[in-house]
C-alpha cells in the first residue's frame, strides 16, 4: 500500500485494476481461510457484521413481490440479529432454548403466523442464530442449517438459514467445507480476528444467492445500465458474480487490500485457527476454574458465573474463551459493574460490562422478566449508564475474554486484580454502610464503593503481566452498537 497507487475499482485505469486485483485475491484468500469452496460460495465485502445481517434481511423481505418474511431467531442472538424481526411482516418467533429449535426441526411444523399456517407460496422463512453467544461465549450447534435444509420444513417452502459468526471466528475455525450442510448466509467481522482492518463480510452459499438478488435497491457498481425518468425508468442489474450485484458503491479497497497483510501476519504468528482455539480454550478454562473457586473468608462465593447448561470450558465445541459474571461481597451484596470497570481501567485492564448487546442472554441469566425490564427502563436504566442494580438484581454483567495474543500471565494478573474484591476475614456481620455504598454505584461518577476499594488495593498493579498483550473483551462502537473488539494492551 505504501509503494502503489490504488484507485476506485470501478474503472480501467492501472491504479483501479491494481485495486481490483487486490480485492479479488483477498476475496479468494478469505474464502480459503474459512474453507469455503469458491465453486459453492461467494464472499461479499460489507462494512461490518451488522451490515451483512441487514443485507440478508433487506434482500429477503423488500423485493415488492407480495411475499412476506417470517423470522425465527435464537434468544442468544446479538441485538443486530434480533433487529431483523422488525422487517418480518409475517411475524417472528424467538426460540428461548436449544430444545425448542430441536423440536421445531424434528417436527417440521410449517411456518406460522398468528398460530395459523400461511400460504406457503407467499412466505419466505429465515432462521437465524449465533455460532457463539457474544454474552458468555456459549457455542450453539452448527448442524442446524444442514438439518433445516433436509427437514420437512423445506418441503415446498422457501426457508433459509443465517449464521452470525462474528464472535465465533475470533478464536475458532469456521469450517464451510461441507457446503451441503453449511448456512445459506454467514455474517462475520474481520477486525475480531485480526484487529484490523475494520471490515465485514457476508459469505453466501451460491445455491441460495438468488434470494438476495430480488431486492429493489441498486447502487453504483451493481448495475450495467440505468435509465432515468418516470415512464422510461429502467435498469439492468449485473448478471455475473453474486458479489457484483450486492456490493453497493465503491468498495473499501484500501481496507480490503490490508486484509492481505493482516492474514499474513496472523498466519505467521499463530499458524492456524486451530492453534488459536486450543490456546484460548486452555486460558479460559484455567480462569474459569480460578474464578469459580474464589471465595470470601466466610466461604461465600465471590463470583456468580453465567454459564450455559451444556457449556464446558474444557470443550471448545460448546464454549468459547469468554466468561460472564458478577460479584458479591461477603454479605451477599452485588458489587456494581461500573465500579468494577473503573477499577479494572486503573489497573491497566480493559474489559466490557453492561448488557453487551445481548438482550436475550441478559434477561435469561439475570432472571429479568419483560415486566422487570420495562420497569427498569421507566426508572431510568439505559444502555451504558451507571444503574448497576435495580430491585435487588444486577442489570448487566462483567465479561472477560481471551484472544490469540493472551497468555497465562494475563490470567495471573487478572486474578491478582480480583483479590481486591475478596474479603478474607470470616466475620458474618453485615457492615451497616455496605448497602448505602453499593446503592451509590447505580449512578454516575466514582461511588464510595470505588473509593473504598481503591484504598484497599493501595495502588494499581504494575506487574508486567497486567500490561503484556492482555485482551479482555474491549468495547468498540460499530455502526451505533457496541460489539466485542480485538483490542490488545501492549506494554
Query: 434: burial class by Cβ within 10 Å (0-12, 13-18, 19+)?
Result: middle
What average pLDDT score do residues 37-61 get?
Answer: 96
DSSP 19: H
Instruction: Report the chain's mean pLDDT, rounded to a whole number.
Output: 85
- Those residues with Cβ within 8 angstroms of residue 190's Cβ, 6 or more apart along the chain or in another chain: 30, 197, 198, 199, 200, 201, 259, 262
Least confident of 56-60, 378-382, 453-457: 453-457
* pLDDT tens digits along 143-178: 999 999 998 887 778 899 999 999 999 999 999 999
What average pLDDT score do residues 365-393 get?
Answer: 94
What average pLDDT score do residues 337-351 get?
Answer: 95
Predicted local distance difference test score (pLDDT) of residue 349: 95
Predicted local distance difference test score (pLDDT) of residue 119: 55
Number of CB atoms found within 10 A of residue 300's CB: 14
Nearest to 67 by CA among 193, 169, 159: 159
Q: CA 45 to CA 367: how far, in whole Å? A: 38
Residue 487 has pLDDT above 70, yes or no: no
Query: 270: burial class by Cβ within 10 Å (0-12, 13-18, 19+)?
Result: middle
Q: What would the DSSP string read from start to end of 66-99?
A: S-EEEEEEETT--HHHHGGGGG-TT-EEEE-SHH
* pLDDT tens digits along 466-476: 333 333 333 33
What average pLDDT score do residues 329-349 get?
Answer: 95
Q: CA 237 to CA 79: how far, in whole Å? A: 32
Active site residues: 357
pLDDT band for 19, please (50, 70, 90 cuts).
confident
Least confident of 54-63, 181-190, 246-255: 54-63
E strand or H helix at 126: strand 123-130
Q: CA 439 to CA 300: how far, in whole Å? A: 21
Q: CA 90 to CA 155: how far, in whole Å? A: 19
Predicted local distance difference test score (pLDDT) of residue 66: 66
pLDDT band for 122, please (50, 70, 90 cuts).
confident
Residue 9 has pLDDT above 90, yes or no: no
Predicted local distance difference test score (pLDDT) of residue 489: 31
What average pLDDT score do residues 227-252 get?
Answer: 88
Residue in the block written with cell 417440521: 108
Nearest to 425 by CA among 306, 300, 332: 300
Residue pair 72/125 in contact by the 8 Å Cβ criterion: yes
Amino acid at each position: 500500500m505504501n509503494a502503489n497507487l490504488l484507485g476506485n475499482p470501478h474503472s480501467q485505469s492501472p491504479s483501479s485494476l491494481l485495486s481490483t486485483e487486490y480485492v479479488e485475491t483477498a476475496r479468494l484468500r478469505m474464502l480459503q481461510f474459512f474453507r469455503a469452496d469458491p465453486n459453492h460460495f461467494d464472499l461479499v465485502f460489507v462494512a461490518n457484521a451488522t451490515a451483512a445481517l441487514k443485507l440478508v434481511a433487506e434482500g429477503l423481505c423488500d423485493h415488492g413481490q407480495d411475499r412476506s418474511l417470517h423470522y425465527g431467531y435464537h434468544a442468544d442472538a446479538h441485538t443486530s440479529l434480533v433487529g431483523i424481526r422488525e422487517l418480518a411482516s409475517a411475524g417472528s418467533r424467538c426460540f428461548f432454548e436449544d430444545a425448542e429449535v430441536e423440536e421445531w426441526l424434528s417436527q417440521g411444523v410449517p411456518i406460522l403466523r398468528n398460530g395459523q399456517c400461511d400460504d406457503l407460496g407467499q412466505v419466505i422463512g429465515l432462521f437465524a442464530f449465533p455460532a457463539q453467544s457474544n454474552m458468555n461465549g456459549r457455542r450453539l450447534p452448527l448442524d442446524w442449517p444442514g438439518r433445516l435444509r433436509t427437514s420437512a420444513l423445506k418441503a415446498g417452502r422457501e426457508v433459509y438459514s443465517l449464521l452470525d459468526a462474528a464472535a465465533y471466528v475470533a478464536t475458532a475455525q469456521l469450517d464451510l467445507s461441507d457446503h451441503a450442510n453449511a448456512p445459506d448466509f454467514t455474517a462475520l467481522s474481520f477486525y475480531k480476528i485480526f484487529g484490523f482492518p475494520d471490515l465485514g463480510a457476508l459469505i453466501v452459499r451460491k445455491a441460495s444467492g438468488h434470494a438476495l438478488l430480488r431486492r429493489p435497491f441498486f447502487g453504483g457498481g451493481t448495475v450495467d445500465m440505468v435509465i432515468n425518468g418516470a415512464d422510461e425508468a429502467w435498469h439492468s442489474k449485473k448478471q455475473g458474480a453474486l458479489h457484483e450485484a450486492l456490493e453497493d458503491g465503491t468498495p473499501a479497497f484500501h481496507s480490503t487490500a490490508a486484509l492481505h497483510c493482516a492474514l499474513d501476519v496472523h498466519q505467521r504468528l499463530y499458524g492456524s485457527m486451530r492453534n488459536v482455539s486450543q490456546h484460548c480454550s486452555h486460558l479460559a478454562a484455567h480462569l474459569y476454574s480460578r474464578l469459580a473457586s474464589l471465595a470470601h473468608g466466610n466461604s461465600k462465593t465471590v463470583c456468580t458465573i453465567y454459564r450455559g447448561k451444556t457449556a464446558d470450558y474444557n470443550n471448545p465445541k460448546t464454549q468459547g474463551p469468554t466468561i460472564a459474571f458478577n460479584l458479591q461481597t461477603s454479605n451477599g451484596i452485588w458489587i456494581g459493574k461500573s465500579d468494577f470497570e473503573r477499577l479494572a481501567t486503573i489497573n491497566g485492564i480493559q474489559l466490557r460490562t453492561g448488557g453487551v448487546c445481548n438482550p436475550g442472554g441478559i434477561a435469561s441469566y439475570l432472571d429479568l422478566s419483560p415486566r422487570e425490564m420495562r420497569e427498569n427502563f421507566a426508572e431510568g436504566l439505559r444502555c451504558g449508564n451507571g444503574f448497576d442494580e435495580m430491585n435487588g438484581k444486577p442489570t448487566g454483567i462483567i465479561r472477560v475474554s481471551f484472544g490469540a495474543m493472551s497468555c497465562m500471565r494475563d490470567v495471573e494478573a487478572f486474578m491478582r486484580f480480583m483479590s481486591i474484591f475478596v474479603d478474607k476475614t470470616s466475620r458474618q456481620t453485615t457492615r451497616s454502610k455496605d448497602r448505602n455504598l453499593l446503592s451509590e454505584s447505580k449512578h454516575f461518577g466514582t461511588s464510595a464503593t470505588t473509593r473504598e476499594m481503591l484504598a484497599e488495593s493501595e495502588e494499581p498493579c504494575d506487574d508486567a503481566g497486567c500490561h503484556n498483550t492482555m485482551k479482555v473483551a474491549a468495547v468498540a462502537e460499530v455502526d451505533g452498537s457496541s460489539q466485542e473488539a480485538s483490542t490488545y494492551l501492549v506494554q
